[in-house]
Amino acid sequence: MAHTAAALGLTKPNVVEPLQVSFAAIGIEPSDWEGDVLAVAVTEKDLCRSPCSSFENAVLKRLDSQLGGLLSEASAEEDFAGKAGQLVVLRLQGQGFKRLGLIGLGRSAPFTAAACRGLGESFASVAKSARAGSAALALASPGGIHGEFKPNAAAAIASGTAIDLCRTVLGLYEDNRYRSESNKVHLKHVHLIGFGYGPEVDRRLELANYVSSGVIFGKDLVNSPANVLTPVVLAEEASKIASTYSDVFTATILDEERCRELKMGSYLAVAAASANPPRFIHLCYKPPGGNVKRKLAIVGKGLTFDSGGYNIKIGAVCNIELMKWDMGGSAAVLGAAKALGEIKPPGVEVHFIVAACENMISGTGMRPGDIVTASNGKTIEVDNTDAEGRLTLADALVYACKQGVDKIIDLATLTGFCRVALGPSIAGILTPSDELHEEVAAASEVSGEKFWRLPLEESYWETMKSGVADMLNTGAIPQGGVITAALFLKQFVDEKVQWMHIDVAGPVWSHKNRSATGFGVSTMVEWVLKNSSSINEDEATQGGEELV
């Protein structure tokens, strides 16, 4: 993480060596594997016993025989029934593996991406606690996964393992950059057994590694305190992505003067009270060879700290002490950019846009009742300075449309209403485009992240009308706050552009782990890849028609 020499509090992040874990899918019997920890994922059905008390499942039966009945004895003593979340680990001697773990899957193995990622996290916990250098994950019933899903299952588990072994919180996920002493992760090699093997699985595992790296980067950004990660530093991190992947990326960083020239009055009004200057970030990805068939934009809210302004956040529910997470949307954008810099999908041009600033309090700051003018000329009466994210996104969306894009997705920790409505694990999506909704839904099936579409009820716009300007920045009544926030953003998107708003206020942060989640990175990467692959499919279809 880059940092300024005069960081507030003299805090500078430690340089932490990035996690390097290699994943390989292999085709051997679990009992023949050699290494530190072998973990076997089992369902309740897998633990069924024959009349002579031996396992009916072939994998468990062979392992139990190899261990002289220790596995069946231990599972009985520990009352291990294969229920979801159950875990038992045995220390062994005289075997090719030093420890054997059983991970419960429940009644059956619902091998969705989300379930596989959860299994990867449990596996990571076993390997982490054992301080293992090598570990393997096997399925007691590999036939439970359909052949076509095995590559995705392996990749999802690889993602869960790589991400959650990086650092530990409450025994598992640890961010060591701001500790005087840090714990090392020992794991270097992971083998996946029973998930298939070959070029397609290898390709998905490589992709999972790239996505995991992007998610970890996104987590690091959100976890960084606001006295370290200022708007200028966030722009530096974006520029580093462009320089690292200079074959496909260019960076444009606009300072306050340039934003003023572009008439970004809505964005600049939010930034006006802070001693830390704003930075408008624009990364542009162009595919190798430059053959662009589709143009996309991903826009992220980039409030590196949000005090609420004169409508200051008060009370425990407002979580002012956690408002470093208010740039969670921008973290998803930049994390996705980093991953895509490695993957280099063909056919798509992608613009990654962040209007980064702080929302603070001073004599130069915007006041409730002020009227600001966005870069498309529309005027906004500010009736609440804590509804600032939409003001920054307004100018960012106008800018994105000017890039000539076909589709835009914005991600933002925009409303507490969405956390109330959908809880801590699900993001809300609002869009007038059914096609775009279907694309993101398909991407989320692969990523394992959870979304729920909310109605974009146009009649609610009546509550957003101002008596002295084109619009208010918050509704006259609090009900439907997620919807009115999205309707506000819609005023700054060209009608010809497909657009979706994603409110990530709930899932961007884990209160249980006291850490960022990296939410949104995986789905945005999958969305771009699906647009890239659909271009290739269209070209193949057209080519076939011409031949006919």
Question: What is the number of alpha carbons within 13 Å of residue 137 lying toward its C-beta?
Answer: 32
Q: How far apart are CA 105 and CA 86, in angstroms?
A: 8
Q: How far apart are CA 429 and CA 538, in angstroms?
A: 27
Query: Which residue blocks in 245-327 are alpha helix, DSSP H?
Result: 256-261, 265-271
Strand partners, 373: 379
Q: What does the block give as tokens for 67?
A: 């261990």
Q: How far apart are CA 156 and CA 329, in angstroms?
A: 22
CA distances from 404 to 48, 205, 282, 291, 340 (A): 60, 34, 14, 16, 20
Amino acid at 416: G
Q: Running DSSP on this structure, what letter comes out for residue 330?
A: H
Amino acid at 479: Q
- Which residues, including other chains, have CB under 8 Å from residue 115's CB and lie 6 or more apart? 105, 109, 448
Longest dimension (CA), the chain: 83
Query: Which residue blocks in 165-278 are alpha helix, DSSP H?
Result: 199-223, 231-244, 256-261, 265-271
Do 482 and 503 form a contact (C-beta atoms < 8 A)?
yes
Could you list the active site residues? 313, 390
Amino acid at 278: P
- Count of positions (residues) in the chain: 548
